Structure 1
């Protein structure tokens, strides 16, 4: 009896040690950035999206657009700047709901995370590393960050971070489509091309292959999709939003390749609506909600239909 109790005690102790080290590893791998309403380096635009119509569950996603005021280039020696206000690039933080509970944000003490804070310059450097503007760097296959970077929001004298956060980077490059349009580019001068139209072209070209966007329930450990050469954003339409402004809807040509039983977060905000000078005002996060589909009242076929119809969530102020 005593031996059994001692064994239980040892197991409990080992489990506590495991949790301690695990929590510290997670913390060490997460960086935090304090959002500011207005800085010399960017403008902040915040939008709330309801998930009810798209995913059948009444939760909220918050988009934080950091629209950069300076355009940055880099070379092998160093970085230099050039103001280019007509095509402002953007950094996008997305707060995603915790589908295992009802609380999406956690209060934090700045003292406990002070060693993991990143400055605006450091964040912009990460942006620069991921937009292929450093000439001596190789293209990255993963360019988005899920829970590796989290925004800090101040409310009164308290600070909060989302339980789940996605960080993405976009270059806004409005120019004729004869120029390259690599992954992570928003180009409002592209000719409209819907997913349905593109799929028809794909099936004529690759008659025996599955359309990459349809591989939602296929084997995710193997892919023929060439991410370096083929993955990119396409514009499907322009639309007039509330207030009379013209916005542009995009979709991402990519597949569902990734590690088994894990978020395929490099799909990112796979369909999105971009409003010039205001940032991304809506979109979809199929990678996140499909992974949690057992908690949703929709099926895999519903996801495929949403992809086909290019359904998105849009901030209420622009509906």
Structure 2
């Protein structure tokens, strides 16, 4: 089976080298690495060239100019020529077992569109958590895992292996910026059967230098993103690619985001500087204003924190019980 691992990159030569070597070190050898260089101005080209001289499985695409991070990621679809593909951030790394773990599951479950593996979050060299802490390992039919994704617990997209047929759905919405992977994975879980394994096959570095960490919390940007996200899910529902059943939950997320931002900078400030007034009707705005005045969002966040803590304990207990019964 021909597998392609795409690594979009910009000015991270040394981290890129580690990412490439983690792919070349896979126990599954029938694969290729495709570096998508967004016109780096450091020594990225030289680093890749030195690795290409050693291993012919590496190919290199250099942009004539910087086209932006999202377009660079979205170009992956046009380069897919293998049977399976994955995307790896240039500052993250795989464990040697990533591809083999996913391919074993593809062999066992013929109808799945992708495999989501476990990747730990590393902060300053210390592993702190996993995005799959809220998941049970197993097979998920299309549309059965959407609620987990909508609650923000989607797997890391860099540790997912996709069938080539999914390349047409592999698109990061520009208006969602760095949160586009959540929307993408939610839509994929809505349309395709998948398998989620809790075997650790990699990690991502939240060391303050990745795109998400460098972007400071901007209440207006967060609100506008939530509004765009609801609009995109509504469009997907109209196309039959997303169940309308989930839209009330997406609306709740949007409204909670508005109240969270309002709690930090004021409701009037949010209304003046964001897209809230054009996206919501007068009645909805009045209702949210009342909820903001009584600080409902603080009660909700406290309750949600308690529920997450207890659910995480339950998942851990269940996984240990399953392990003992094997």
Which TM class, normalised by the smaller chain length? Answer: under 0.3
- TM (norm. structure 1) is 0.25
- TM (norm. structure 2) is 0.25
More helix by share: 2
